[in-house]
Structure 1
Amino acid sequence: MTDGRDNGQGRFVSAQAVAERAGVSRSAVSRAFTPGASIAPATLARVHEAAAALGYQVNDLARGLLANRSRLVGLVTSDADTPFRAQMIAALSQALIERGNMPAIINIGTTTEDIANASRQLLRYRAEATVFLSGSPPESLVELTRRNGQPLILINRAETGLDSVHCDDRDGAQQAFGILSMTGARRFAVINKEDPSPSLAVRERAFAEFAAASGFKPTIVRAGHSDYDGGQEAARQLLARGPAPDAIFCVNDLMAFGTLDHLRGAGLRVPDNVSVIGFDDVPIAAWASYRLTTLRQDPRRIAREVVSILDRRLSDPDLPPISVHIPVELVVRETVKTRRQEARLRK
């Protein structure tokens, strides 16, 4: 097995080269880099000195393949460049690296075949687990990974029979309706996308239920995409239908940004004429141009829960499905009318 790193001449420094420089056997080099292996302290010191001089690094991928399991963990996602998804990938990568894993980020399309191809590649590399940040794994793929002993962990999805971590979308929708109703709003609206993900669908449905329980029927508007342009598109549709609402719940921050800019361009003042709330609390939400009131998901906490589930699943593969709900936090800024803002406006 030739493991190491490039020596500047297009070849990798091998364990054999380290052994020759240290004057030890090839097996001694292997033991020197295997935690808990038996090796004399003097031999260990010579091997490490030789490795440092040559720039040698252990090839963990090759070791993992020989052991029939690598330290790779696949992160399967789409739209990896969107703000919250990028935060989630960064948090997961850091948590997995701290655990001793190597994250393999696969940015895919949304079709079943895209997802299946990505997952088959991870199986070929003996990935320790696969984390799905988007896309619903088909039944055949779930069964394939189970037969191969590879755990699947879903984020913000609710398929039964699989380990999952998701934010409490329903509670977030309740908090959103609660703060919007406190403004005295009578005309509510929800902005979502066509064919929403399970998480976005829960947010819309729950908000409508809480509104109905208080005697309101919100207007539901859906755009083609759940991004900034989608928010602008939905806001255009909303204003074209008649009187503007006085409270809007956007299922994510990106749609809220597009909604805010279109409302302001149409001459409406936020929050004087209409209050707007988002979901996720991406960094842009705090920018002076938006100061968006929103519901915060904590990517680092989600990542910690993923790692915890992975540890539990690998130590006991027969555990029943693990499902973790993480609460969301209401972050009040300047796009929802509050008593403090009303007092400021009266001055």
Structure 2
Amino acid sequence: MASIKDVAKLAGVSIATVSRVINGYNNVSEETRKKVIDAIRKLNYHPVYAVKGAVLKRTIGVLVPNFGGFHYNEILTGIEKEAIKRDFTLMISTTLHRTSVELERLEVFFAKRVDGIIVCSSKKDEEQLERLIKSAIPVVVVDREEPEIRLDNVGIDNYAAGRMCAKYLLEKGHRKVLLLKGRKDIYSFSDRERGFIDYSTRHGIDVKVTPCGYFAEHGYHAVERYLKKHGRDFTAIFAINDLSAFGALKALHDLGVLVPDEVSVMGFDDDPISSYTIPPLTTVRQPREEMGRVAFEILYERLSGKKGVARRVVLPVEIVERESVKQL
């Protein structure tokens, strides 16, 4: 089994230099970085640790924005299932949607010499992205915006999905739609909204946009505020995710608005409880557990020495029709 000394010898550099490359530091020339990374790949070098004489399993660091709701938990489930199959352990941490915390957590992963990293991030954080690209540790990103494919990336096409939702509501006869707008710093929400609005503009759907958020309470208060200020000047609501749709359903119920007889509601995600709301929620299913599974498989391939250019894997989504959208 290759050691860090072997890597340093093959690359013709010091052990400290190898460590700096592995950790993605900037104080290494590109020529030296390339030599070290080539040596790591040729030797298939992976750090191994021992505690009380027992060799630990190979470890993957996984970074997620939060543990709230279902989205990242389902992605983690997919990663965990594959990790168990391959006899890996996971080191999981959350960033609380803060880029400064994300950088701190990545430093911990580098310090612990994890074998690979899976990053689930909803924000645009180029500084961290550059650090990951420069590191010698294999990295796969999930559900993250990256216009230039420089790291292996797994996700869905949120823009196309937003267009699909607008098309669906139009086919159901809805030409006046209230869009519950998500947080602007979450790229998947922004792409989803952009796709919805672009399709609506081209096909004569009157979209009323109101600020919302991520969780059920945000959807509740967004609908409550809008109705009190503007009245019911729409026939359908498109919520940027299922959690906000749950809040919208409750607000409509509390205000005496019947769903779907008076207002239709459509969500996005197909959370596990979406089929248990009253009425059951029509939504878009994105394969979150599959995202995690595919991300781990790609990372495993890289750890096994498979080379090649970074690739973007786009998984399909589908509309799940239930009872919350009415045909006009």
Please state how far the C-alpha of 1:93 moved relative to its aligned partner.
1.4
The answer to whether residue 241 in structure 2 is matched with residue 238 in structure 1 is no
Instruction: Write the mapping of 1:60-139 to structure 2, written as runs, cut at 5 A.
Output: 62-63=49-50, 71-136=58-123, 138-139=125-126
Distance 2:128 2:271 in 1: 32
What secondary structure sits across from 2:260 in the alignment? coil
Give, as a single letter, the amino acid of the residue that structure 2 aligns with 1:121: V
Q: Which has the larger radius of gyration?
A: 1
What secondary structure sits across from 2:92 in the alignment? strand
Q: Alignment length, in residue pairs?
A: 277
What secondary structure sits across from 1:311 in the alignment? helix
Per-residue displacement from partner, 1:50-105 (whole Å, max 9, x unpaired)?
A: xxxxxxxxxx96249x9xx9621111112203122222222221122212221111
Give, as a single letter, the amino acid of the residue that structure 2 aligns with 1:246: T
Give, as a single letter, the amino acid of the residue that structure 2 aligns with 1:295: V
Per-residue displacement from partner, 1:246-268 (whole Å, max 9, x unpaired)?
A: 01111100000001110121111
Corresponding residue number in structure 2 for 1:158: 145
Give, as a single letter, the amino acid of the residue that structure 2 aligns with 1:231: G
Per-residue displacement from partner, 1:91-139 (whole Å, max 9, x unpaired)?
A: 2211222122211110222222100110010111111222122254744
Q: Which segments of structure 1 move beyond 6 Å, counting only runs of 4 or more?
A: none
Distance 2:48 2:278 in 1: 46
Q: Is the 8 A contact 1:253 1:294 kept in 2?
A: yes
Q: Structure 1 pair 122/178, CA: closer, same or farther in 2 (3 Å)?
A: same
Distance 2:304 2:48 in 1: 21
Structure 2 residue corresponding to 1:307, chosen from 296, 304, 320? 296
Please state how far the C-alpha of 1:298 moved relative to its aligned partner.
1.6
Give, as a single letter, the amino acid of the residue that structure 2 aligns with 1:203: R
Please state how far the C-alpha of 1:241 moved relative to its aligned partner.
2.4
What secondary structure sits across from 1:103 in the alignment? strand
Q: Which runs of 5+ in 2 are unaligned?
A: 1-46
Q: Is the 8 A contact 2:241 2:267 kept in 1?
A: yes
Q: Is the 8 A contact 1:256 1:276 kept in 2?
A: yes
Q: Is the 8 A contact 1:297 1:328 kept in 2?
A: yes
State percent identity of aligned pairs: 27
Corresponding residue number in structure 1 for 2:167: 178
Corresponding residue number in structure 1 for 2:197: 208
Q: Which runs of 5+ in 1 are unaligned?
A: 1-59, 343-347
Distance 1:137 1:218 in 2: 26
Distance 2:170 2:243 in 1: 23
Structure-1-length-normalised TM-score: 0.73
Structure-2-length-normalised TM-score: 0.77
Per-residue displacement from partner, 1:180-228 (whole Å, max 9, x unpaired)?
A: 11222221121122324111111101000111111223111112x3100
Distance 2:294 2:68 in 1: 23
Q: Structure 1 pair 88/108, CA: closer, same or farther in 2 (3 Å)?
A: same
Corresponding residue number in structure 1 for 2:182: 193
Q: Structure 1 pair 63/278, CA: closer, same or farther in 2 (3 Å)?
A: same
Distance 2:131 2:65 in 1: 22
Distance 1:155 1:252 in 2: 18
Distance 1:119 1:233 in 2: 36
Q: Is the 8 A contact 1:280 1:294 kept in 2?
A: yes
Corresponding residue number in structure 1 for 2:314: 325
Give, as a single letter, the amino acid of the residue that structure 1 aligns with 2:233: A
| More RCO (CA 8 Å, sep 6+) | 2
Give, as a single letter, the amino acid of the residue that structure 2 aligns with 1:87: E
Corresponding residue number in structure 2 for 1:260: 249
**RMSD value, Cα:** 2.6
Distance 1:215 1:244 in 2: 16
Per-residue displacement from partner, 1:262-298 (whole Å, max 9, x unpaired)?
A: 0121111111111111111011101153410000012
